[in-house]
Amino acid sequence: MEKSEKPIKSRKPLIISLIVLSLIIIAVIITLCVVLTKKDSDKKKTITNLPSSYNQTGVMVNSPVKFDFSNKRVKLNSGYYMPTSGIGTYLLLGQTCYNSVSSALKSGVRLIDSAYIYGNEEQVGRAVRDSGISRSEIFVTTKMFNTQFSNPENAIETSLNRLNVEYIDLMLLHHPGNNDVKAYLAMEKYVQSGKIKSIGLSNFYIDELKRFLPQVNIMPSIIQNEIHPYYQETNVINYVYDDIRDKGIIMEAWFPLGGKGHNTQLLNDQTLKAIGNKYNKSVPQVILRWDLQRGTIVIPGSTNSSHIQEDFDIYDFELTDDEMRTMPI
């Protein structure tokens, strides 16, 4: 009996240790299950409470400042109203630019986007003046290029003189760069004088915004970045419309139809064609409507008067939640 009892006695501590370890493992598993269940519940609650526009993962991308689709405009944090769609003039020069802007204004477009580096501010201004439309009804955007940041006052005066439209509705810094804060503070002074109504930024992303915003006095009204279905910018949109939503900044999309790099591929996308067929709309119209429902102003460019009109006719239909989620990436 002594020989048989000795092994049993020696195994007792081992058995107790295994039991204790098993209990600890079970406790850890139960704790993890509770935590994960709570997180999943919170996530489902968040998604359930979202407005109708979000991306494929259910992340909110809709602007907290609602677009007024009836009047095709949105109120900026500067207090001024900006049209939610317009025409971009990148690569439009001379008479071609003048004709495109004139055609856009005749089609009902009231937002014109230009820039110093585009070399077409004079043509944009002339088209605005020749339109016969009240200046207060047209929203003119231009941009200060990086090479102008060292002497921003001269840059602003240059654009004012070239446009010759009394004032600039919105002026953006075209890119981050040396002296960008200095240039922005100069624009702030022109806001105070009334020569510029609203100011903002272009091609600024999260890291740049975290550096830049604490150094200025007037919050940007607009951040204009490249945004289209193949370059959705969800992270920066969520940052602007969630993390710093109290700033009241609105997102705007340049190259909303994909530009030269993605235009052909986007316009031939079968998913977009199917959605367009449902509403009797073109692929560009579907893309532009998708942008609007994400809280993003759009400025597609074109020299074709029919396309310009088409790009503006995007307010008489609405994409469903499923269609917003199935947008190709």
118 is catalytic: yes
Buried b (16+ CB within 10 A) or exposed e, 1-17: eeeeeeeeeeeeeeeee
In the numeric block, the tokens 């677009």 are attached to: 67
CB 81, CB 292: distance < 8 Å: no
Beta carbons within 8 Å of 273's beta carbon, 6+ residues apart? 283
CB 148, CB 179: distance < 8 Å: no
**Type of residue numbered 125:** G
Burial of 91 (0-12, 13-18, 19+ CB in 10 A): middle
Classify residue 180 by its DSSP letter.
H
CA 118 to chain centre: 22
Cα–Cα distance, 208 to 173 (Å, whole number): 12
User: Long-range contacts for 97-103 (Cβ within 8 Å, ≥24 apart)?
Assistant: 97/123, 97/124, 97/127, 98/123, 98/124, 98/126, 98/127, 99/303, 100/301, 100/302, 100/303, 100/308, 101/127, 101/128, 102/127, 102/130, 102/131, 103/305, 103/308
Cα–Cα distance, 145 to 127 (Å, whole number): 23
Cα–Cα distance, 157 to 154 (Å, whole number): 5
User: Of 116, 118, 190, 241, which is the active-site residue?
Assistant: 118
Cα–Cα distance, 112 to 163 (Å, whole number): 12
Residues labelled as active-site residues: 118
